[in-house]
Structures are given as structure tokens and as C-alpha cells.
Amino acid sequence: MVGGQQACRQEQELKVTDEGGGQVNTDPVQSSAPLKPLKVFGLPFAREGVPHMVATLLFTVVLGLFFKLAGVVCGLVIFALVVNFFRDPERLPPDDPQAIVAPADGKVIQVTDLHDERFFSAPATRVSIFMSPLDVHVNRIPWSGRVLDVRYNPGKFFRAFAEKASLDNEQTAIRLADDQGRELWVVQIAGFVARRIVCGVEPGDTVRRGQRYGMILFGSRADVYFPVGAADLVVQVGDRARAGETILARWR
């Protein structure tokens, strides 16, 4: 789980109380610092975005010195895009003990059954969500349980919506299991623009559905795998998803 472009920090302790087989409360999910959002003028932002926002403001000042008003306007447009990218709104997980929720905001681009031996020896269902640069990029846990494994693959940087991205792109995969033996994998996949994956969990951590656990910077994709027939699908290709809230499937 070592990689120059991956920030899977050991100091990010995300120990939370397991609420028993996927039962969650109805309060907005909070996570331990440093993944807890930073409030700026009362608005929540991902902490990873602060250096980028500061750098963009400084860049705006430089543009203003050289290009006057036109430079300032250009810089402020870029700053607005960066601020929009790093927003981190609170999310309220559904009050449904069987629900598997989306790990990311974006568009569902694929729902398919396949045999991927990296994750399951038997066929699995994969739900893929594409995050454009305009979507919220903070990732959330799809199902309450314990982290059994975290795998990092340095990979390449094909476009995130391409089929080969699931196999070849830089990615971090997390294996989750609950006390009933139900397992799933959630995979963060870097895209053509993305160059950094942030993952804040480690094997042995207990996590809660809807909890923040990481993000992918600047355009990416998230996949969820679970055994074929283990859950009933709720979403279909073309649907929009909201991390921590949209139900992808329900355990049978």
C-alpha cells in the first residue's frame, strides 16, 4: 500500500462504533479529523483542497499584476472551479439497514456482472460511478463493517469511463465485511486528469456507512463489487448518485 501519488496516511484514525450489521443512525455522518471537513465562512470543504485554494488565490494576484482586470477575472474563475471541486457537503445516509450506498457523487456508467479474480473467486456485480471535475470528490463508505484489506495499484491514467480503467488505472481497493459475513469491495480509480488518491482507512478499521474515507483529485471513478445474487440492484446506467445517500443495491 505504498505509492508516491497515494496518500493513505497512518495517522488518519477512523475508528468508529460499529452499529451492528449495517444499522446506522439518522444523524449526518461525521468522521474523525483530518477527514472531517474544514469550515470556511461556514461552508464545508475537504482539507486536502486548502493548499490548492490558497495557491489559486496567489495565482490570481500574480495574474492581476501582469494582466490587470482581465487577469483577476481569469484567476477568480479558476479559483471558483477549485473551490467548487473541494466542497464537502454533509450527507444523511438512508434509514435502511440493508442499503449499500454510493461511495461517490456522479453518474452511473456501468452495472454489470463479471468475473474479476482480484476481488471475488465467483462472479460479482460491479456498479461504476464516474465523477466529473464538477462533482463532489469526497468518497464515502458504502456499507458498515470492518476493513479486511486495502490494496494499492500504481497503474496508469486512462480516461476513468473507459472499460480498461478498472484493470489498468491507478487505484486503491478496500475490502469490507460485516458480522454476518457479507462482503464487498469499493475501488477508487484515478482518471486521465486525476493524479492523486487519498485513502484514510487501513486493515482492521471499523467503518460506518456514509463515513468519509478519502477522495480522488480532479476527475475519477469509483466501483463497488459484491457477489452476484447477494443484493438487489436499485440503480441503473444513467442514474445520478450522491455519495453516502443514493442506494445502489439492497442486501437480500
**Chain segment 132-176, per-residue pLDDT in tens:** 888 998 999 999 999 999 999 886 656 555 566 566 678 999 999
The three state secondary structure string of 55-113 is: HHHHHHHHHHHHHHHHHHHHHHHHHHHHHHHCECCCCCCCCCCCEEECCCCEEEEEEEE
Residue where the block lists cell 495499484 = 153
- What does the pLDDT read at residue 194? 53
Q: Which one is catalytic: 31, 128, 144, 220?
A: 220
Residue 118: phi and psi, rounded to 5, are -65, -30
**CB within 8 Å of 244: residues ≥ 6 apart:** 29, 91, 92, 93, 101, 102, 140, 141, 209, 210, 211
Amino acid at the residue 201 = V
| pLDDT tens sequence across 195-234 | 678 899 999 999 999 999 999 877 689 999 999 999 999 9
| d(C-alpha 155, C-alpha 109), whole Å | 21
Percent of the chain with pLDDT over 90: 60
| d(C-alpha 157, C-alpha 5), whole Å | 12
Average pLDDT, the chain: 83
Residue whose C-alpha is closest to residue 26's, from 99, 96, 103, 104: 96
- Tell which wins on pLDDT, 83 or 193: 83
Query: Grid coordinates representing 137?
Result: 470528490
- Tell me: pLDDT of 4 over 60: no
| d(C-alpha 217, C-alpha 191), whole Å | 9
- Tell me: pLDDT of 120 over 80: yes
List the Cα angle 235/238/239 in 5-degree steps: 45
- What does the pLDDT read at residue 166? 67
Active-site residue, 128 included:
no
- What does the pLDDT read at residue 24? 35
| pLDDT tens sequence across 38-64 | 887 788 888 887 888 899 999 999 999
Residue whose C-alpha is closest to residue 122's, from 181, 183, 44: 183
Q: What is the pTM of this model?
A: 0.80
Domain ranges of the chain: 6-26+94-251, 47-85
Q: Contact, 200 vs 14, CB < 8 A? A: yes
Indicate the CATH number of 6-26+94-251 among 3.30.70, 2.30.30, 2.70.70, 1.10.3470.
2.70.70
